[in-house]
């Protein structure tokens, strides 16, 4: 029996991975996250609290469960929070990953880790796996440090970078389209950057890629994102269209005027040819992803 340890199982990606992997009888899945309780029913899913920054806890859990693979979906993923809480961000995004690497080495487990387009500076997107990172935010720097920790670790690993993740999740932090929808439903005007351009990614596409990377035993870096490159303004307008909300509340803005704590790489996006060829990824465009989100939000208990 293959044993899969999911870290950060309460997050947007973690929840989706848990659902996908737990439905396969050939896997024994242990879900872990920082919170004491799991978002899903404890009687249906195996769950143990695990803070990845606690080295001895990581070591003893991994030694007793002896996973075939550790999938790390845990992160401090709020870019502005990371900018102003640097020590805490570093502990989760870098020290936590180092702890997982060390524990994985002891039991011969693979590590599948997630990263971001924010490792790039946004001057020359779309980026391929060979392009040189140059992060401009603290979040991006911490995620690049976690990538480098894996690169030099001398253990089998897969690194999957993604962009602006969205989808239905229980109790998760609002993704960009969820913030747009909540604001428009409340009749609130919002400003969205027309100079931040990237490929928003539905969580199903990312979870699919993670599972295939494991099943096909793929190593190295993969870029995974939605098929359409849009500005945040265009993405917000598309969300309003799909959900039948008032798009006139969405105003165009320049990033420089938004006063966000962390600087943003302006033009990113990925070349996903490698993931399409080697993992079978067929990424959704924004209309498909938002339509799926709409369906998810109508399903009780999914958001």
Ligand X SMILES: NC(=O)c1ccc[n+]([C@@H]2O[C@H](COP(=O)([O-])OP(=O)(O)OC[C@H]3O[C@@H](n4cnc5c(N)ncnc54)[C@H](OP(=O)(O)O)[C@@H]3O)[C@@H](O)[C@H]2O)c1
Q: Report, in Å, the least distance between residue 183 CB and ligand X.
A: 17
Report helix angle 203-215 to 12-22, nearest 10.
Answer: 50
Question: Applying CB under 6 A, which part among 46-54, 63-71, 249-257, 259-267 lies near ligand X?
Answer: 46-54
Query: Among residue numbers 257 through 296, which ones bind ligand X (CB under 6 A)?
Result: none
162-191 residues in contact with ligand X (CB under 6 A) are 162-165, 172-173
Q: Residue written as tokens 């007793």?
A: 64
Query: What letters, b where the CB count within 10 A reaches 16 and e where it falls short, cover 121-154?
Result: bbeebbbebeeebebbbbbbbbbbbbbebbeebe
Element (H, E) at 253: strand 250-253
92, 101, 103, 119: which one binds ligand X (CB under 6 A): 92
Q: Are strands 2-7 and 27-33 parallel, antiparallel or unpaired?
A: parallel
Under rule CB under 6 A, residue 34 binds ligand X: yes
Q: Minimum distance from CB of 214 to ligand X (Å)?
A: 16
Shortest CB 184 distance to ligand X, Å: 20
- CA nearest neighbour of 195 among 233, 239, 250: 233
Count of residues near ligand X by CB under 6 A:
29
CB of 187 to ligand X, least distance (A): 26
Instruction: Using the rule CB under 6 A, give the single segment among 11-19, 191-199, 229-237, 261-269 that binds ligand X.
Output: 11-19
- Residue 88 is a binding residue for ligand X (CB under 6 A): no
Q: Which CB sits closer to ligand X, 163 or 242?
A: 163
Least distance CB 120 / ligand X (angstroms): 12
Instruction: Report d(CA 71, CA 251) in Å as an integer.
Output: 39
Query: Is 230 a residue that touches ligand X (CB under 6 A)?
Result: no
Question: Looking at 18, 22, 99, 116, which residue binds ligand X (CB under 6 A)?
Answer: 116
Give buried/exposed letters for 69-101 (b at 16+ CB in 10 A, else e). bbbbbbbbbebebbbeeeeebbbbbbbbbbbbb
**33 binding ligand X? (CB under 6 A):** yes
- Does 52 bind ligand X (CB under 6 A)? Our answer is yes
Per DSSP, what are the bridge partners of residue 166? 202
The DSSP H or E segment spanning 232 is helix 232-243
Q: Does 196 bind ligand X (CB under 6 A)?
A: no
The verdict on 31 binding ligand X (CB under 6 A) reads: no
Contact pick of 12, 100, 109, 245 for ligand X (by CB under 6 A)? 12
Determine, following the binding rule CB under 6 A, whether residue 42 of this chain makes contact with ligand X. Answer: no
From 53, 99, 158, 268, residue interacting with ligand X (rule: CB under 6 A): 53
| Among 76, 73, 64, CA closest to 103 | 64
- Residue whose tokens read 């539905």: 202
Q: What is residue 87's three-state secondary structure?
A: helix
Which residue bears the tokens 């879900």?
A: 31
Residue 43 burial (C-beta neighbours within 10 Å; 0-12, 13-18, 19+): exposed
In the bound state with ligand X, the residue whose beta carbon lies nearer, of 63 and 248, is 63
Per CB under 6 A, residues contacting ligand X are 7-8, 10-14, 33-35, 50-53, 73-75, 77, 92, 96, 114, 116, 143, 162-165, 172-173
């Amino acid at each position: 029996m293959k044993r899969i340890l999911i870290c950060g199982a309460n997050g947007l990606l973690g929840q989706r991975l848990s659902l996908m992997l737990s439905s396969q009888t050939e896997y024994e899945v242990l879900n872990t996250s920082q919170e004491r309780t799991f978002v899903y029913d404890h009687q249906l899913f195996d769950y143990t609290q695990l803070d990845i920054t606690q080295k001895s806890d990581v070591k003893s859990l991994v030694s007793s469960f002896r996973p075939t693979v550790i999938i790390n979906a845990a992160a401090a993923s709020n870019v502005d929070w990371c900018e102003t809480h640097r020590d805490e961000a570093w502990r989760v995004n870098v020290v936590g990953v180092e702890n997982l690497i060390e524990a994985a080495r002891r039991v011969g487990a693979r590590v599948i880790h997630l990263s971001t387009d924010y490792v790039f500076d946004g001057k020359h997107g779309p980026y391929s796996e060979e392009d040189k990172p140059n992060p401009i935010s603290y979040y991006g720097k911490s995620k690049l440090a976690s990538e480098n920790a894996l690169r030099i670790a001398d253990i089998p690993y897969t690194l999957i970078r993604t962009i602006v993740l969205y989808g239905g999740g229980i109790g998760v932090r609002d993704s960009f389209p969820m913030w747009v929808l909540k604001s428009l439903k409340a009749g609130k005007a919002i400003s969205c950057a027309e100079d931040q351009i990237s490929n928003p990614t539905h969580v199903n596409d990312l979870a699919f890629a993670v599972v295939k990377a494991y099943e096909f035993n793929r190593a190295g870096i993969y870029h995974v994102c939605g098929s359409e490159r849009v500005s945040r303004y265009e993405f917000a307008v598309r969300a309003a269209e799909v959900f039948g909300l008032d798009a006139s509340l969405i105003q165009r803005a320049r990033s420089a005027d938004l006063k966000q704590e962390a600087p943003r790489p302006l033009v990113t996006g990925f070349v996903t040819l490698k993931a399409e060829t080697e993992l079978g990824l067929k990424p959704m465009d924004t209309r498909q992803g938002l339509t799926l989100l709409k369906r998810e939000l109508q399903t009780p208990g999914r958001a």
